[in-house]
Amino acid sequence: MDQPHGLNPRHKKAAADDSPALGRSCSVELYGDSILHGGYLGDRRLVEPPAAALQRMRPRYHVIDRTVNGETASARSGSFENEARIGRIVIIEHGLNDSLQNLPLETALRSMVVSAKAEGRHVILTGLSQTLGGADIRARGDAIVRRVAADLSVPFADWGSVPLRVGEMADVIHPAQPYSTRLVERLIQVLDSLSPECA
């Protein structure tokens, strides 16, 4: 499952050398749903969304935010292979929406990770953040993401282990600012271990 099928020329070029397609060394692209987007209650967004928090805490990074409220890995994986990327590191945060809709999360994540790695990029998968309901669904999705990370040898940011305190949710699914910021801090721990020169 680790071998990509039908690499297009852009993938071959990027995988072959340290080409401009990989961007500068401290560059990261974010893919995910409303949790990584910082969205909640329809079209509202946190004052400091995760992309902005990451930029503030690690100013050496060039952060490209490709997150979309409500997106599933299953939907994004359909176009992911053919999307143009410049980040050296790709962060993928997906799973809860797929699990809630009983979509093929594992297949979609594997496809995205394999495509990004074939381009010569580093990939980080995040676990699922805590919720105020549907614990079994969240746990099932989190286990899938963890398994894909282990199988494909990519770092895993364990968001499920980040403490959630009373009053730190914007609604039953979406983090309010303090919890969201701590999720980014956990992600940064993994980024720093992968690219200490960018800390």
Label residue 15 by pLDDT band (50, 70, 90).
very low
For residue 12, the model assigns a pLDDT of 35
CA dist., res. 186 & res. 121, Å (int):
21
CA dist., res. 103 & res. 95, Å (int):
9
Interval 127-173: pLDDT, tens: 999 999 999 999 999 999 999 999 999 999 999 999 999 999 999 99
Q: Is the pTM of this model over 0.75?
A: yes
169 close to 179: Cβ distance less than 8 angstroms: yes
For residue 11, the model assigns a pLDDT of 38
For residue 23, the model assigns a pLDDT of 66
Phi, then psi, of 47 in degrees rounded to 5: -60, -40
For residue 127, the model assigns a pLDDT of 98
Percentage with pLDDT > 90 across the chain: 86
**Domain range 18-198, its CATH number among 3.40.50.1110, 2.30.42.10, 3.40.50.460, 3.90.1720.10:** 3.40.50.1110
26 close to 62: Cβ distance less than 8 angstroms: yes
Label residue 16 by pLDDT band (50, 70, 90).
very low
> Which secondary structure element, helix H or strand E, spans residue 27, and what is its range?
strand 27-32
State the Rg of the chain over Cα. 16
For residue 170, the model assigns a pLDDT of 96
63 close to 51: Cβ distance less than 8 angstroms: yes
**Average pLDDT for residues 58-79, to the nearest whole number?**
97
